Structure 1
């Protein structure tokens, strides 16, 4: 009985604090997957990068570690904007909950992108 009461207490507390959404979101809720598209751009393979938001909440201001990133394919700066060693994804706009955002680039090999920052936005 005590275990059930503890669970109910935690559920009610979580509901009050998170406005009904008890799923905890963070940078770790964003997953990066890359695959070759099969296309060549200036003799380099093209890569598709998919950033998957595995959380119910939107994530904004997503920044990637881009130190050393290069491409021979132009990327619209509203999609991926490099500034120093970081890249801003989607112009800082949201990657909505349980959805994804994609972009392509072309280089001799895939780049090991890593997410370094995001701001969680839960309604």
Structure 2
């Protein structure tokens, strides 16, 4: 989602990454092919290396229902897509039917 701010003539965009799984992911990799930003991104949230694969939280645990947010400045909006993660374990709820298994499925550019 555009924040209304600008950096070097590019719109600033806000990204939310949410783990909608009742599980913990580790080593979450995001496709960052051709990703650019005039605004620096905290590498503790998203590291942007040269090989076009970004690493979320330096590969550390991405907890069940956790949301991370960062800003970047570029046009057009970038379609962040998860490409890999390790599921450490499922966090079981009291309802045995209320458990998702290993899916990181929400990366919002809004």
TM-score, reference length from structure 2 = 0.74
CA distance in 1, matches of 2:66, 2:77: 23
CA distance in 2, matches of 1:94, 1:38: 32
- Whether the 8 Å CA contact 1:68–1:85 is kept in 2: the answer is yes
Secondary structure of the 1:102 match is: strand
Q: Give ranges in structure 1 of 5+ residues lacking alignment.
A: 1-34
1:47 aligns to 2:13 (yes or no): yes
**Between Structure 1 and Structure 2, which shows a larger proportion of helix residues?**
1
- Whether the 8 Å CA contact 1:65–1:87 is kept in 2: the answer is yes
Secondary structure of the 1:91 match is: helix
Shift of 1:78: 2.1
Residue 73 of structure 1 is matched in structure 2 by 39
- Structure scoring higher RCO (CA < 8 A, sep ≥ 6) equals 2
Q: Give ranges in structure 2 of 5+ residues lacking alignment.
A: 92-110
Please list the CA deviations of residues 3-54 of structure 1 after superposition, one character each: whole Å capped at 9, or x if unmatched. Answer: xxxxxxxxxxxxxxxxxxxxxxxxxxxxxxxx11221112211111111111
1:38 aligns to 2:4 (yes or no): yes
TM-score, reference length from structure 1 = 0.66
Shift of 1:85: 1.4
Structure with higher Rg: it is 1
